Structure 1
Amino acid sequence: MLHLLILRYLGTEADVEPHVAGHVEYLERHHAAGTFIASGQTVPSGQGGAILARGVDRAAVLSITAEDPFVRAGVAEYSITTIDVGRVHPGLAGLVRAA
Protein backbone atom coordinates (compact mmCIF):
# COMPACT_ATOMS: atom_id res chain seq x y z
CA MET A 1 0.00 0.00 0.00
CA LEU A 2 1.01 3.56 -0.65
CA HIS A 3 -0.43 6.56 1.15
CA LEU A 4 -0.69 10.08 -0.22
CA LEU A 5 -0.60 12.52 2.69
CA ILE A 6 -1.75 16.04 1.91
CA LEU A 7 -0.82 18.60 4.56
CA ARG A 8 -2.94 21.74 4.69
CA TYR A 9 -2.07 24.77 6.81
CA LEU A 10 -4.92 25.93 9.02
CA GLY A 11 -3.53 29.41 9.51
CA THR A 12 -0.90 31.68 8.03
CA GLU A 13 2.71 30.92 7.24
CA ALA A 14 3.57 33.01 10.29
CA ASP A 15 1.54 30.57 12.43
CA VAL A 16 3.46 27.62 10.95
CA GLU A 17 6.96 29.16 11.08
CA PRO A 18 7.79 28.41 14.75
CA HIS A 19 7.24 24.69 14.07
CA VAL A 20 9.23 24.33 10.83
CA ALA A 21 12.43 23.00 12.45
CA GLY A 22 10.48 20.28 14.26
CA HIS A 23 8.58 19.42 11.10
CA VAL A 24 11.83 19.08 9.12
CA GLU A 25 13.23 16.74 11.81
CA TYR A 26 9.99 14.73 11.62
CA LEU A 27 10.36 14.43 7.82
CA GLU A 28 14.03 13.45 8.05
CA ARG A 29 13.28 10.77 10.66
CA HIS A 30 10.57 9.13 8.54
CA HIS A 31 12.61 9.43 5.32
CA ALA A 32 15.56 7.74 7.07
CA ALA A 33 13.24 4.94 8.24
CA GLY A 34 12.11 4.40 4.62
CA THR A 35 8.46 5.18 5.36
CA PHE A 36 8.45 8.51 3.49
CA ILE A 37 9.70 8.13 -0.06
CA ALA A 38 8.91 11.64 -1.31
CA SER A 39 7.86 14.91 0.29
CA GLY A 40 7.64 18.57 -0.62
CA GLN A 41 5.68 21.78 -0.58
CA THR A 42 2.57 22.12 -2.67
CA VAL A 43 2.52 24.79 -5.37
CA PRO A 44 1.85 27.57 -4.90
CA SER A 45 3.77 27.54 -1.64
CA GLY A 46 2.28 28.68 1.62
CA GLN A 47 -0.64 26.24 1.53
CA GLY A 48 0.96 23.05 2.81
CA GLY A 49 2.71 20.02 1.43
CA ALA A 50 2.48 16.41 0.35
CA ILE A 51 4.16 13.16 1.36
CA LEU A 52 4.20 9.73 -0.28
CA ALA A 53 4.46 7.00 2.36
CA ARG A 54 4.90 3.25 2.07
CA GLY A 55 5.43 0.10 4.09
CA VAL A 56 2.87 0.77 6.80
CA ASP A 57 -0.87 0.28 7.18
CA ARG A 58 -3.40 3.09 7.45
CA ALA A 59 -3.51 2.92 11.26
CA ALA A 60 0.25 3.47 11.38
CA VAL A 61 -0.04 6.40 8.96
CA LEU A 62 -2.67 8.00 11.21
CA SER A 63 -0.31 7.62 14.16
CA ILE A 64 2.64 9.01 12.20
CA THR A 65 0.74 12.08 11.01
CA ALA A 66 -0.42 12.76 14.58
CA GLU A 67 3.28 13.07 15.56
CA ASP A 68 3.93 15.94 13.14
CA PRO A 69 4.78 19.10 15.12
CA PHE A 70 2.49 21.08 12.80
CA VAL A 71 -0.43 18.84 13.76
CA ARG A 72 0.44 18.80 17.46
CA ALA A 73 0.53 22.62 17.43
CA GLY A 74 -2.84 22.76 15.65
CA VAL A 75 -1.51 24.75 12.68
CA ALA A 76 -2.02 22.04 10.03
CA GLU A 77 -3.99 18.90 9.27
CA TYR A 78 -3.57 15.90 6.98
CA SER A 79 -5.89 14.22 4.54
CA ILE A 80 -4.84 10.67 3.71
CA THR A 81 -5.55 8.73 0.55
CA THR A 82 -4.53 5.07 0.62
CA ILE A 83 -3.60 3.55 -2.74
CA ASP A 84 -3.67 -0.16 -3.53
CA VAL A 85 -1.11 -0.01 -6.34
CA GLY A 86 -2.17 -1.99 -9.40
CA ARG A 87 0.36 -0.81 -11.99
CA VAL A 88 3.75 0.78 -11.58
CA HIS A 89 6.52 2.06 -13.84
CA PRO A 90 9.31 -0.54 -14.05
CA GLY A 91 11.80 1.97 -12.65
CA LEU A 92 9.77 2.26 -9.45
CA ALA A 93 8.70 -1.38 -9.13
CA GLY A 94 11.27 -2.31 -6.47
CA LEU A 95 10.41 0.68 -4.36
CA VAL A 96 6.66 0.27 -4.60
CA ARG A 97 6.55 -3.51 -4.41
CA ALA A 98 8.72 -3.39 -1.27
CA ALA A 99 5.85 -1.47 0.29
Structure 2
Amino acid sequence: MLHLLIVNYTGSEEEAAPFVRDHVGYLERHHADGLFLVSGQTVPSSQGGAIVACGVDRETVERISAEDPFVVNGVATYSITTIEPGRIHPALAELLSAQTASPGPRWSRPGEAAGH
Protein backbone atom coordinates (compact mmCIF):
# COMPACT_ATOMS: atom_id res chain seq x y z
CA MET A 1 0.00 0.00 0.00
CA LEU A 2 1.06 3.55 -0.70
CA HIS A 3 -0.01 6.60 1.23
CA LEU A 4 -0.05 10.15 -0.07
CA LEU A 5 0.38 12.54 2.85
CA ILE A 6 -0.41 16.19 2.25
CA VAL A 7 0.99 18.56 4.88
CA ASN A 8 -1.06 21.75 5.17
CA TYR A 9 0.09 24.73 7.21
CA THR A 10 -2.59 25.87 9.64
CA GLY A 11 -1.20 29.42 9.51
CA SER A 12 1.64 31.06 7.66
CA GLU A 13 4.90 29.53 6.55
CA GLU A 14 6.61 31.93 8.97
CA GLU A 15 4.70 30.40 11.90
CA ALA A 16 6.09 26.98 10.94
CA ALA A 17 9.67 28.26 10.56
CA PRO A 18 10.77 27.63 14.19
CA PHE A 19 9.95 23.93 13.76
CA VAL A 20 11.57 23.33 10.36
CA ARG A 21 14.78 21.81 11.78
CA ASP A 22 12.86 19.24 13.83
CA HIS A 23 10.52 18.55 10.89
CA VAL A 24 13.52 17.92 8.61
CA GLY A 25 14.92 15.50 11.22
CA TYR A 26 11.55 13.72 11.25
CA LEU A 27 11.66 13.43 7.44
CA GLU A 28 15.26 12.21 7.42
CA ARG A 29 14.52 9.57 10.06
CA HIS A 30 11.61 8.14 8.06
CA HIS A 31 13.49 8.31 4.76
CA ALA A 32 16.34 6.39 6.42
CA ASP A 33 14.00 3.69 7.73
CA GLY A 34 12.49 3.27 4.26
CA LEU A 35 8.98 4.45 5.11
CA PHE A 36 9.11 7.75 3.18
CA LEU A 37 9.91 7.32 -0.50
CA VAL A 38 9.47 10.95 -1.56
CA SER A 39 8.97 14.22 0.32
CA GLY A 40 9.04 17.86 -0.65
CA GLN A 41 7.41 21.25 -0.49
CA THR A 42 4.35 22.02 -2.52
CA VAL A 43 4.43 24.78 -5.11
CA PRO A 44 3.89 27.37 -3.83
CA SER A 45 5.67 26.34 -0.64
CA SER A 46 3.34 28.47 1.48
CA GLN A 47 0.76 25.68 1.27
CA GLY A 48 2.92 23.00 2.95
CA GLY A 49 4.35 19.79 1.55
CA ALA A 50 3.71 16.23 0.46
CA ILE A 51 5.09 12.79 1.31
CA VAL A 52 4.74 9.40 -0.36
CA ALA A 53 4.95 6.59 2.21
CA CYS A 54 5.02 2.84 1.66
CA GLY A 55 5.17 -0.40 3.59
CA VAL A 56 2.90 0.22 6.59
CA ASP A 57 -0.84 0.17 7.16
CA ARG A 58 -3.07 3.25 7.36
CA GLU A 59 -3.22 3.23 11.18
CA THR A 60 0.57 3.31 11.44
CA VAL A 61 0.97 6.13 8.92
CA GLU A 62 -1.68 8.13 10.81
CA ARG A 63 0.24 7.63 14.06
CA ILE A 64 3.53 8.61 12.42
CA SER A 65 2.07 11.75 10.86
CA ALA A 66 0.70 12.82 14.26
CA GLU A 67 4.29 12.80 15.56
CA ASP A 68 5.57 15.30 12.98
CA PRO A 69 6.91 18.32 14.93
CA PHE A 70 4.75 20.57 12.72
CA VAL A 71 1.63 18.72 13.94
CA VAL A 72 2.79 18.45 17.55
CA ASN A 73 3.33 22.22 17.62
CA GLY A 74 0.01 22.98 15.92
CA VAL A 75 1.40 24.61 12.77
CA ALA A 76 0.27 21.94 10.28
CA THR A 77 -2.21 19.14 9.71
CA TYR A 78 -2.08 16.08 7.47
CA SER A 79 -4.56 14.68 5.02
CA ILE A 80 -3.83 11.10 4.04
CA THR A 81 -4.96 9.23 0.95
CA THR A 82 -4.22 5.50 0.89
CA ILE A 83 -3.62 3.97 -2.53
CA GLU A 84 -3.76 0.30 -3.51
CA PRO A 85 -1.59 0.36 -6.66
CA GLY A 86 -3.21 -1.27 -9.67
CA ARG A 87 -0.48 -0.51 -12.19
CA ILE A 88 3.15 0.23 -11.39
CA HIS A 89 5.87 1.57 -13.66
CA PRO A 90 8.56 -1.11 -14.10
CA ALA A 91 11.19 1.22 -12.62
CA LEU A 92 9.23 1.33 -9.36
CA ALA A 93 7.97 -2.25 -9.22
CA GLU A 94 11.08 -3.72 -7.59
CA LEU A 95 11.32 -0.91 -5.03
CA LEU A 96 7.66 -1.19 -4.03
CA SER A 97 7.70 -4.97 -3.84
CA ALA A 98 10.78 -4.84 -1.60
CA GLN A 99 9.05 -2.31 0.67
CA THR A 100 5.92 -4.39 1.10
CA ALA A 101 7.71 -7.76 1.36
CA SER A 102 10.03 -6.87 4.24
CA PRO A 103 9.17 -8.83 7.39
CA GLY A 104 7.63 -6.82 10.20
CA PRO A 105 7.24 -3.07 10.48
CA ARG A 106 10.22 -0.87 9.74
CA TRP A 107 8.82 1.83 11.99
CA SER A 108 8.67 1.76 15.75
CA ARG A 109 7.70 4.08 18.56
CA PRO A 110 10.45 6.28 20.01
CA GLY A 111 12.72 4.18 22.21
CA GLU A 112 11.88 0.91 20.44
CA ALA A 113 14.13 -0.76 17.90
CA ALA A 114 12.77 -0.65 14.36
CA GLY A 115 11.58 -3.99 13.03
CA HIS A 116 11.01 -5.50 16.50
- The answer, yes or no, to whether TM exceeds 0.5 is yes
Is structure 2 residue 54 aligned with structure 1 residue 54? yes
For 1:27, give the aligned amino acid: L
Name the structure where strand makes up a greater proportion of residues: 1
Count residues with an aligned counterpart. Answer: 99
Q: How does 1:1-99 map to 2 (within 5 A)?
A: 1-98=1-98, 99=100
User: So what's the TM-score if we normalise by structure 2?
Assistant: 0.83
Task: Find the aligned partners of 1:25 and 1:64 in 2 and give their Cα distance.
Answer: 13
CA distance in 2 between partners of 1:39 and 1:26 (Å): 11
How far, CA to CA, are the matches of 2:95 and 2:3 in structure 1? 14
Q: 1:24 Cα shift?
A: 0.1
Note the aligned Cα RMSD (angstroms): 0.6
Structure 1: state its 5+ residue gaps.
none
Letter aligned with residue 32 of structure 2: A
- SS of equivalent residue, structure 1 residue 85: coil
Ranges of 4+ aligned residues in structure 1 off by more than 4 Å: none
Q: Tell me, which stretches of 5 or more residues in structure 2 are unaligned?
A: 101-116
TM-score normalized by the length of structure 1? 0.97
